[in-house]
Amino acid sequence: MNDALKRIHMQVMWNRLIAVVEEQAQALLHTAFGAITREAGDLSAGVYDTGGRMLAQAVTGTPGHVNTMAAAVRHFLDRYPITTMRPGDVFVTNDPWFGTGHLFDFVMVTPVFRDERPVGLFASTCHTPDVGGVGFSAEARSVYEEGICVPHLRLREQGAIDEKVFAIIMANSRNPIEARGDLLSLIACNDVGAARLADMMREFDLDSIDELARHILDTSREATREAIRRVPRGSYRTAMTLDGYESPIELRARLDIGDGEITVDFAGSSPLSARGINSPRCYTEAYSVFGLKCIIAPAIPNNAGSLEPFRVLVEDGTCVAPLRPAPVTARHVIGQMLPDLMFGALAQALDGRVPAESAGSIWVLPMAGQRAQGKPFNVLNVGLGGTGARPGKDGLNTTAFPSGVGVVPVEITENESPLVFWVKEYLPDSGGAGEFRGGLGQRIEIGNSDPAPFTVGAGTFDRLRNPAAGRSGGRPGRHGAARLGSGAVLATKAVHTVPSGDRIVLELPGGGGVGDPARRTRARIDADLAAGLVSVDGAARDYGAARTGAPGA
């Protein structure tokens, strides 16, 4: 086979491998018990070589999961060398420091064999509704209070499931059926991936995937280095202020761009928070590199090769590198802001090519209470803000960037609890003004159909005081707000009680704008007015646009 034909052959197999992991992810999506996984796609799936290097990831899923999982598989191999693994084995952990950053995400790893020889591994992860402890909140003072931690264990040995592990997890969960179901779904999706890889290897007459792995990693690594070389070299500093919990969080980063490599140094960032908003090193690395790749190398597939040119430096004991036993449940409060922090540095090197800041951290809505008949309920939904405007385009409304999760339909939550979503609508004027407008946040009102109170955890509510910044003259997005329908303002990240007959009212933050608002075209302003995305008063205030008749008047 000549070199050109061999490269084509490798590309076909690479594409097939991506299809394999996408089917793996879809299997998880369609069998998961928890609504946040089943409906919102809070999951990831990938295939690895026998050295634990990620070769391909599914498009379905979140960067926080997949990029942390990229490193997590090697931790399994440190404890269980691949030579000790057997067909039918499955391994599991939810250790925040060796998995995906908090206890709610279980990582499942399954070795794949051909003729009794290991040829690769599949890994997957998803968010489990409840792992005990204080629940999904930032109230814990240590990880020990946040729920059950499962160390790296063999969950299935040569096809036989260890029911004792399931029993321990279920005994510590408020949603034991969902917890068990999600773990079984993770096992099943890896089995689907393994079966499809076996089919692929038979079809292409492969005894191993080692040569394909080298091609994938070498090609991706060099393509990423070439992309980095197109960015002006130098050191670029940036900073961002978050609301924090007990005090504001200062995130600081220095971006050093060299010859085909980038180093991010978080020196100067805030120390550890006493509450669970800290981002473990693995999660900090995951979202930092994701933000850089979004701008520098968005078209290059995500794998160990394309991640290799990036290096992240953190100081242990800070909010971006907490050490055990620091609390970390709401780690995405900080972690999901890091792509915007990276954008702030890249904007100095790539003027005019970087979006404005987004709402960032999704607002996870853990809600619990007692039904009228006394049966408890414990449900999870999400609120999404707007993304920052992009060069040449408006931001996206109510879109989860950078996590990429979808929404849990209100009908699902209403079916699983007595709660009612009375309002869920775009929040006009919440997108930052600019030549290109920031994406809108949304307004949500939730009440209890039973005459009883319920609680809402506000651990992930941020940008209440520090809105998403604009870019290149664009204005900030609107900050978020949380209050009761009766008027009381919910200004902290605590767990709040909504009294019987009252409602919680949430206003999600909008994304920042890009460019001078005076340069926004009249046609775009009129379109926003007609769609109700901008009010008449907002158009006059932000754009100096009077409107007394139909669009275009």
pLDDT in tens, 444-470: 999 999 999 999 999 999 999 999 999
90-93/153-157 β-pairing: antiparallel
Give the pLDDT score at 3: 84
Average pLDDT, integer, range 240-257:
98
pLDDT over 90 (residue 311): yes
pLDDT over 50 (residue 187): yes
How many CA atoms within 13 Å lie on the side-chain side of 350?
21
Q: Looking up tokens 């460019």, which residue turns up?
A: 515
- Are 100 and 282 in contact by the 8 Å Cβ rule? The answer is yes
Q: How confident is the model at residue 70 (pLDDT cuts 50, 70, 90)?
A: confident
- Are 322 and 272 in contact by the 8 Å Cβ rule? The answer is yes
Burial class (CB in 10 A: 0-12, 13-18, 19+), 182: buried
Q: What DSSP letter does each residue of 327-372 carry, written as one string? A: --TTTHHHHTTHHHHHHHHHHHHSTTSSPPP---S-EEEEEEEE-T
Q: How confident is the model at residue 6 (pLDDT cuts 50, 70, 90)?
A: confident
Q: How far is it, in rounded angstroms, from Cα 412 to Cα 419?
A: 10
The DSSP 8-state label assigned to residue 543 in this structure reads: H
pLDDT over 70 (residue 552): no
- The predicted-structure confidence for 133-143, as pLDDT tens digits, reads as follows 999 999 999 99
pLDDT over 70 (residue 553): no
Give the pLDDT score at 546: 59
Average pLDDT, integer, range 254-281:
98
Print burial letters for 366-397: b (CB count within 10 Å at least 16), e (below 16).
Answer: bbbbeeeeeeebbbbbbbbbbbbbbbeebbbb
Q: Which residues contact 257 (CB under 8 A, 6 or more apart)?
A: 228, 231, 232, 233, 234, 235, 236, 349
What crossing angle do the helices spanning 176-203 and 3-31 adopt, rounded to 10°? 160
Q: Can you say how many angstroms the Cα of residue 195 is from the centroid of all Cα atoms in its chain? A: 28
Q: How confident is the model at residue 548 (pLDDT cuts 50, 70, 90)?
A: very low
Domain ranges for the chain, please list them: 3-208, 230-353, 355-520
Percent of the chain with pLDDT over 90: 94
Q: Looking up tokens 């969960």, which residue turns up?
A: 173
Cis peptide before 339 (omega within 30 of 0): no
How many CA atoms within 13 Å lie on the side-chain side of 207?
1
Structure tokens at 194: 């393994």
Cis peptide before 111 (omega within 30 of 0): no
Q: How far is it, in rounded angstroms, from Cα 402 to Cα 408?
A: 17
Give the pLDDT score at 61: 86
Write out the H or E segment, with its range, that includes residue 526.
Answer: helix 522-531
- Are 152 and 93 in contact by the 8 Å Cβ rule? The answer is yes
Structure tokens at 420: 């009612």
Say how many Å lie between the first and final Cα of the chain, rounded.
Answer: 67
Write out the H or E segment, with its range, that includes residue 310.
Answer: strand 310-313
Q: Looking up tokens 């930092």, which residue turns up?
A: 288
Average pLDDT, integer, range 38-55:
96
Mean predicted lDDT score pLDDT of the chain: 96
Q: Degrees (nearest 5) of the Cα angle 266, 54, 291? A: 35
Q: How far is it, in rounded angstroms, from Cα 429 to Cα 406?
A: 23
- Are 272 and 278 in contact by the 8 Å Cβ rule? The answer is yes
Give the pLDDT score at 436: 98
153-157/376-383 β-pairing: unpaired
pLDDT over 80 (residue 367): yes
Handedness of CA 184, 188, 189, 194 (dihedral sign): positive
SS3 71: helix
Handedness of CA 59, 276, 130, 383 (dihedral sign): negative
- The predicted-structure confidence for 87-108, as pLDDT tens digits, reads as follows 999 999 999 999 999 999 999 9
Alpha-carbon dihedral of residues 318, 322, 325, 326, nearest 10 degrees?
70
